[in-house]
Amino acid sequence: MSNLDFKTDLLPFIIATAGEFVALLYWLKFFDEKQFILSMLVMWLGFGVERIAVVIWIRSVYRREQGVRPDETPLWARSLRLLGITLSEIIIWIVWLTLADGVSHLLAGLVLGILMLVQHSVEMSILKRKKPFAYVTSPKTIFFTLMETLGGAAWLYFVRDGQVLRGGALLLIGLSIEHIVQGSALKPRQAGRS
């Protein structure tokens, strides 16, 4: 954490966290008000902001490293990959909400955790250019997935109980921890470190 640059390390983290946080808050608000098109628009915009901030951050961090090959995948293929990852996460949150409101918060939380672990593992393997699911058993990936899952589950529980601010605070904490730990896992390894 010693050589953090505001522009390349902190600002993208703040933007990514804010994008996902606002997307989820307003998605649920508009979804509960039965404004489904608006809820989906907010989700796409917020998650798009998150993804773009992460992509910009990765490019700037890896550009500073010696000997790291740039991603030579065509722009159209990278864009499709970004859209696919965003769509899959949106679907995961919708499945979670449907289960939580229709079946059980506990079952929904378990499903959210499992699906997010797969999602995060795929994201990590794409961003780090590793084999698919190389991160599914990684303690860091499991931990930051757990933080997002617990933050999301607590958020919905408190929102449904009328404690919107408490729920929002717990979601923000979960997402912040997720992004801090995931960001540290995405940074290239420095010489002499494993």
Helices (H) and strands (E) in the chain, counts: 6, 0
The whole model's pTM is what? Answer: 0.84
- Sign of CA pseudo-dihedral 114, 160, 13, 146: negative
Contact (CB, 8 A) for 115 and 92: yes
pLDDT value of position 191: 38
Instruction: Enter the DSSP assignment of 106.
Output: H
Residue 52 has φ and ψ, to the nearest 5°, of -65, -40
- pLDDT by 10-residue block (mean), the chain, 194 residues: 62 88 96 96 94 79 58 74 89 96 95 95 83 86 95 96 95 92 74 39
Full DSSP string of 126-178: HHTT--TTTTTT-HHHHHHHHHHHHHHHHHHHHHHTT-HHHHHHHHHHHHHHH
pLDDT value of position 182: 83
